[in-house]
Amino acid sequence: MPPLNLHELTHEQLRVQLVRWGFSSVHTKVLWNQLYLGLAASFAEMTGIPARLQRHLEAHATIGVPPTVRETASRDGFTHKYLLGLTDGREVETVLMRYSGRVTACVSSQVGCAMGCVFCATGQMGFTRHLTAGEIVSQAVHVARALRDSGARNPDSASPKLDPTRDPDAQAMPPPASPTSHAIRDMLGKAPEATAESKCHLLDDIPPVAAPAKRQLLDDIPAEPVGGRLRNVVLMGMGEPLHNYDEVLRAVDIMRHPAGLSLGHEQITLSTVGVVPGILRLAAEKRPVHLAVSLHAATQAGRVALVPVAKKWPLDELIAACRTYSTATGRRIFYEWTLIEGQNDSEADARAVGHLLKGLPAQVNLIPLNPTSGYAGAPSRSEAAKRFQRILRDEFKLPSTVRQRRGIDIAAGCGQLAVVG
């Protein structure tokens, strides 16, 4: 029997496994702590467990330590991408993103993806296999270890220092305008929940309608070390999480456990392109995660052109499922909209979104298209994004953000993750 990767087990499953091996369940707590607080990479470095148990674990178990095949860092230093090796020789990409006051891991749920979104590098590579819960958890632990180790090597370099002359976001800022992002949020009606990270690194909301002053944007970028603790996990890397429901949700349970990584329901975001059965199951089970739904078009024909899987789960069924989810959970959904010049960024498109989401607890996250080799579309211009957002706000009272583009220079942005070869 192959050794058991302990990252595959929930806290309760670990307790049962210890008993099955003939050990007392009292060791569960310390073992769990070593895995998720100590971030142990080997049993030899664990303290506080009996030598007999340690020997047994060495012989019959493993800890998920995916080898780093390649690590790349963005020029601004805020984004790191890891190509991680899996035990069967496959590989996945995981991204570490630093924001003001928090660090986020963008983890993959599959090797490749079966959904085939035309603008997405993962979709372009096709589907290979689902990841196990342990392989998903191990990515988050990998990022947590990277944070710990970078802080240990040089406490002052736990987060890059801000150099506005090098930061693409700062250079791209429009001239100062009056209201702060918080004021705008208040104007629009405060969101029922804390801001969640939306697919691929958006999460730092920049309201382009009333653009933040440069100073405000700079505040959004860490000028000081933000500490070494992983604060958020977004299941927005390679793969469609709801196509791999059971393993993804078991990984969520492991990452949420309060004696370990201890991620709260507002710290885990799961993104789907519209797998209706999965959304309905999340609603029925009231799973404690943020949900982001990638919409990209507000008509069935428009969606099918960008998201082929919309043929299977049409737009009206998707919106009905979203309504069910919000009603059952009381949660707002983040609707993702990749802005493609000339394709879905017109005033008519904005109004179509507004009508589609009318009455739903919603926030729209606008994501200027990131380049991939397999799709010729171009990102919308910032004026188009502002116009889009203005219509959502003024005509439909819909809050929205435009996602900061992070890690584009290392192909770590939304829709850019892929394993080549």
233 lies in the binding site for ligand SF4 (CB under 6 A) = no
Query: Is there a catalytic annotation at residue 341?
Result: no
39 lies in the binding site for ligand SF4 (CB under 6 A) = no
Neighbours of 161 (CB within 10 A): 12
Looking at the DSSP assignment, which residues form a beta bridge with residue 94?
Answer: 82
Non-local (6+) Cβ contacts of 258 within 8 A are none
Helix axes 276-285, 315-329, angle to 10 degrees: 10
Near ligand SF4 by CB under 6 A: residue from 39, 65, 113, 137: 113
115 lies in the binding site for ligand SF4 (CB under 6 A) = yes
What is the token pair recorded at 128? 């290979």
Non-local (6+) Cβ contacts of 68 within 8 A are 82, 83, 84, 85, 142
Q: How far is the CB of 242 from ligand SF4 (least distance, A)?
A: 9
Q: With CB under 6 A as the contact rule, which of the stretches 2-10, 11-19, 113-121, 405-413 interacts with ligand SF4?
A: 113-121
Would strands 362-368 and 400-403 be described as parallel, antiparallel, or unpaired? parallel
- Residue number with CB closer to ligand SF4 (239 or 354): 239
What is the token pair recorded at 27? 């060791």
DSSP letter for each residue of 346-381: SHHHHHHHHHHTTTS-EEEEEEEPPPBTTB---BPP
CA dihedral sign of residues 130, 338, 102, 72: positive
Q: Give the single-character DSSP code of 126.
A: -
Active-site option among 91, 93, 135, 336:
93
Using CB under 6 A, which residues numbered 92 to 111 contact ligand SF4?
none
Closest CA to 221 of 271, 171, 179, 178: 171
Using CB under 6 A, which residues numbered 123 to 142 contact ligand SF4?
123
**CA gap 202, 234 in Å, rounded:** 10
Q: Taking CB positions, which residue lies at the least distance from ligand SF4? A: 123
279 lies in the binding site for ligand SF4 (CB under 6 A) = no
Near ligand SF4 by CB under 6 A: residue from 134, 239, 361, 377: 239
249 lies in the binding site for ligand SF4 (CB under 6 A) = no
Would strands 268-272 and 232-235 be described as parallel, antiparallel, or unpaired? parallel
235 lies in the binding site for ligand SF4 (CB under 6 A) = no
Query: Is there a catalytic annotation at residue 247?
Result: no
295 lies in the binding site for ligand SF4 (CB under 6 A) = no
Active-site option among 117, 120, 200, 414:
414
255 lies in the binding site for ligand SF4 (CB under 6 A) = no
117 lies in the binding site for ligand SF4 (CB under 6 A) = yes
The site string for ligand SF4 over 321-340 (x = CB under 6 A, - otherwise) reads: --------------------
Residues that bind ligand SF4 (CB under 6 A): 113, 115-117, 120, 122-123, 238-240, 273, 415
Residues that are catalytic: 93, 414
